[in-house]
Amino acid sequence: MVKPVNCNDLPTREELVNLIKSGTTLPQVRLVFKDGRRELGAITFFERQEKGRLIDVDREYALDFKLSELETIEY
């Protein structure tokens, strides 16, 4: 079951974009999705398209994501 989050606790779009941009320089970040998923890996992000890709080399796993799907990003 997914735990609801207060909308006031979510970062704004601009804050989220800035967090993601900073995360692209790190070797690993955790993306927290609005549906409750949490994925760990390196990310790329295309601000103009509001899309990105998470890559977990250890699991040989890649995931495309949209900015609108994200709740937050953790370093």
Residue with tokens 């495309």: 64
pLDDT digit string (tens) for the chain, length 75 residues: 556 656 667 789 999 999 999 999 999 999 999 999 999 999 999 999 999 999 999 999 999 999 999 999 999
Q: Which residues contact 23 (CB under 8 A, 6 or more apart)?
A: 29, 43, 45, 73, 75
User: What pLDDT was estimated at residue 9?
Assistant: 72
Give SS3 for 11: coil
Measured CA angle at 12 (ends 7, 17), to 5 deg: 135
CATH number for the region 7-74 comes to 2.30.30.100
